[in-house]
Every structure is written in C-alpha cells, then in structure tokens.
Chains A and B, each alone.
Chain A
Amino acid sequence: DAGVTQSPTHLIKTRGQQVTLRCSPKSGHDTVSWYQQALGQGPQFIFQYYEEEERQRGNFPDRFSGHQYPNYSSELNVNALLLGDSALYLCASASPGTGRYGYTFGSGTRLTVV
C-alpha cells in the first residue's frame, strides 16, 4: 500500500518564477494538507483540502494556491517565487474524520529558489 507520494523530490527555480508541486494521498485518504518546513524550523500549515475545496488556510499570502482533484490528489502552486520560499514542502493526508488518527506525511519536495 503506497503511502503519500510527492513529486518532484527536488526542484530549483529562479526568483519570480512559478512552481507546481504534486501530491498523491495514501489510499483511502480524502483530506490533504500542505506544510512548509524552512531549514531548522517545524512545519508550518499552508492549507487543507477536502472535497476539492480549501477548508482551512494558514498565514500564507495569496501567492500560495492549491487544488484538489476528484481522485483526492492535490497540487500546491506558488507564484512570483521569493528566496524565502526555499523550503521543504510536505504533503500530508488523512482518512475521513480529518486526521484524528494522525496525518501520514510524504517525503516532501525540496524547493530551492535562486
């Protein structure tokens, strides 16, 4: 049973560019959350998707947007990249009941903005 799958694993972008990160949740999971983990920090909540809608959002600017597809997979889009967007981006999924039993995390996408 595959866990949470994220692609790509590593990415290098230039300031001002746009990036799309992808996530396939664990089988049976319908809720997807995205987190940003800067170097030496804990994960920071970006937003959560359920039933193809953004349900909660953390303190991130509108440059960060997302989407969830009918098969529960999700994308995170970041526009107008800044150097400060360099981080590990983690996707986490949960079963119905929104994570009472703990989220399952992917291995992340390491984004470097130069």
Chain B
Amino acid sequence: GESVGLHLPTLSVQEGDNSIINCAYSNSASDYFIWYKQESGKGPQFIIDIRSNMDKRQGQRVTVLLNKTVKHLSLQIAATQPGDSAVYFCAEKSSGYALNFGKGTSLLVTP
C-alpha cells in the first residue's frame, strides 16, 4: 500500500547549524504535505505546509522543498536552536480529509 516514511530516525546537529529532515512518499496522487513538530508529551504543532503545485515554501527559519519527480519532501531549519529539539513528522494527503503520517525523525540540538 501507499506509505510515507522518513530516511533517518534520528538527527543530531549543533546549535547554530542548519538542519535538514527528509521524507519520502510513495503515493503519486498526494497533493498536500505538512510538517509537524512534536515535543515530548504534547500534541503535534503545525510548522509549514505545501501543495503539490509548488516546489518550495518558506516560513520563519524553515523551508519546505518538494520534489514530485522523486517523491521527496524535506524540511530545512536554519540556525537550529535548542528549542527545535523535538520529533518532526511529515504528513501527506491524497484524497478526502485524512492525513497519512510518517514515523517521525527525532532532532537533537547539541550546544
């Protein structure tokens, strides 16, 4: 079946460096993608989204890149801070209202 997955389960970066979290999806009909941040014991928090008619979208310190040719999504965090430490999930939607979530990448920011 269709799936959403992440290349790396954990990522450790130094404070101030840029972080890149990757996500692969398999459903070519996916037309909407979201990145969420989840801190321990809390609900996921929306970071940024992108529709399939775009290949790049920027927010505050974050950029999402979408490569539909290889079905790849990435989240770039500039100047990573300790508060960015969390689990990051990508999610995709292909039809209807349901989002399909990946397993998550744990980002650890070290001083």
Instruction: Specify whether A and B are partners.
Output: no
Q: Which residues of B contact A (CB under 8 A)?
A: none
Q: Which residues of A contact B (CB under 8 A)?
A: none
